[in-house]
Homo-oligomer: A and B are copies of this chain.
């Protein structure tokens, strides 16, 4: 049976979720939505004979924590591939493909470590649908069927059918404005680009060499020159740093003629900001006013808020769509409609050299 190697990209800093997400413990290592951490939830999504042990691509700082978290849920780790620096997803994908090519006949499934999926059965069914398409040589991306005219995601336009619930990709569309998002929704032939991929290593690498030769060359060299310590593979720092920092979409998927999409409804949320975290948590457990609360919190005349405190009690009065996070000595108050801007706090702390607050 063909195995799928899940390669879980865990290199992100999650700075839009500061101060929960910190340098030492970024968001994917936290139990943000359930009682399990996001890497645990992600690994558990790959349950069953179809999947090999997961591989993690991550920062050196987090190897030990991920290893411990996998032990907690009784999961073996295939390998840790340590990124000496972050270089976006295209170099990751090349490294994953080269690493996967060593396992005879296996496919590689590339997934972010920090997405929330409520319907794991639907996810696995989508993977099963994608499998024959990937074996046929397509680079398959998973498209999330939109449940609203979302302007925060890129969209994938479906082309001609490739069998059961799979399509050629017609185009990758940038984040749309609202009228465009509405037209996509009405059309029905568009799905959100979730950044989840399934491919045969050889097919992917051949496309990478064609459309992103420098990335393909340097990433491959970084893996070849890697130092190994048990199941931990340290990519060569100079060679990996020499990779252009580009996303897999931008570098490869938007150019290849072999892109396919499998649309699916899996209860997906990218937990990209406090806005999406509030939405995910409110769906699971909220008060009558759609407030998602954790810790010692009192609310008065407030709705659609997210309040989490690890100690000091928080009282909120007369606020809507506001996040209040009290975590390890930091207090953040954020208007959820501008939740993207939390990143700016992190940037200013970096500029100010306030490392202990990151």
Contacts and interface: CB of A to CB of B under 8 A. Distances in A.
B313 A335 contact: no
Contact of A318 (B302, B331, B341): B341
A50 interface: no
A341 B317 contact: yes
Given A322-B322, A331-B324, A333-B333, A348 B316 contact: no
Nearest to A326: B331
A332 B309 CA distance: 12
Contacts of A324: 331, 333
B298 A345 contact: yes
A334 B318 contact: yes
Contact of A332 (B19, B315, B320, B344): B315
A342 interface: yes
A341 B300 contact: yes
B317 A319 contact: no
Per assembly, the copies of the chain total 2
Interface in A324-358: 324, 326, 329-335, 337-339, 341-342, 344-345, 348, 357
Contacts of A331: 309, 312-315, 324, 326, 331
Interface string A261-302: 000000000000000000000000000000000000010111
Contact of A335 (B317, B334, B338): B317
A301 B314 CA distance: 23
B338 A317 contact: yes
Contact of A344 (B300, B341, B345): B300
A346 to B, nearest CB: 9
Contacts of A320: 335
Contacts of A316: 332-334
Nearest to A312: B331
Contacts of A326: 312, 331
A330 B315 contact: yes
A106 B16 CA distance: 65
Nearest to A297: B331
14 contacts: A19-B315, A298-B348, A300-B341, A301-B338, A301-B344, A315-B345, A317-B341, A317-B342, A318-B339, A320-B335, A322-B322, A322-B333, A326-B331, A333-B333
Given A316-B332, A319-B333, A324-B331, 10 more contacts: A300-B342, A301-B341, A313-B329, A314-B332, A315-B332, A317-B344, A318-B334, A318-B338, A319-B334, A322-B322
